[in-house]
Every structure is written in structure tokens, then in C-alpha cells.
Amino acid sequence: MAADGRVSIVGRQKDLVISGGLNIYPKEIEEQLNRLEGIMDSAVIGVPHPDLGEALVAVIVGSMNNVPNQDAVIASLKNVLAGFKVPRRVIQVDELPRNAMGKVQKNILREHYRDTLN
């Protein structure tokens, strides 16, 4: 609690992305990403966007021999998700940062990719 009595929520609440005034829960998008062939793991984050406030970026871990490209991933997601839930960018990494409990450290991803859409 701050000296002036305000309470700030940090962490899990940030799993909610507000893009263009719409609430988006990354878990739903991650579930769809993880169903796609060639994707072993994923995390969806919100990054600053000049018009929308935040925009979605998907960070994926691909399988060794069959990693889909950004256009293929976005096209597949457009078939199963509302347009505003489709990430604007897909970034492939070797692994997602995790804490000692095995949870993806989205705060690290947000910091690393914060300027992706600027």
C-alpha cells in the first residue's frame, strides 16, 4: 500500500490486455496458438501501441523442423478468433523465460518487446 492509501495490482492482473478499449485475455489466444502444428509453447503479451493503447504480440517456441512463419500463424488465428484478438506480430524464440515455479515471466517479455510495434 502506498503512503497515500492507494493499492496497486502487479502481476496476474496484467494478463488482461486492453486494446482499443476491448478486454482481451491472452490465455484464450495461447490455447489456440498451442494447437497449431509446429508450435510447442507460446505467450501472448500486450505492448504499447500509439493508437490502441496496447496491441497483442505472440511469442512462440517452434518445433525443430516445422516452425510456421508469422503470416501462417496469423492466418490460422483469423480462422478461430475474433479479429481484435489476433496478434499484430509473432516472434519466434528458442525458449520462454520462466520463474522457479515454471510460470512464464511475461513481465520480462513485455520489457524486451515493448518497442516492437513503434
Q: How much is the pLDDT for 64?
A: 80
Q: How much is the pLDDT for 104?
A: 98
Which backbone phi and psi does 44 adopt, to 5 degrees? -115, 130
Q: How much is the pLDDT for 4?
A: 67
End-to-end CA distance of the chain: 33
**What is the pTM (predicted TM-score) of this model?**
0.87
Q: How much is the pLDDT for 67?
A: 83
How far is it, in rounded angstroms, from Cα 97 to Cα 84? 26
Q: How much is the pLDDT for 11?
A: 47
Q: What are the structural domain ranges in the chain?
A: 12-112
The architecture that CATH gives domain 12-112 is 2-Layer Sandwich (3.30)
Q: How much is the pLDDT for 28?
A: 97
List the chain residues with pLDDT less than 50.
Answer: 7-11
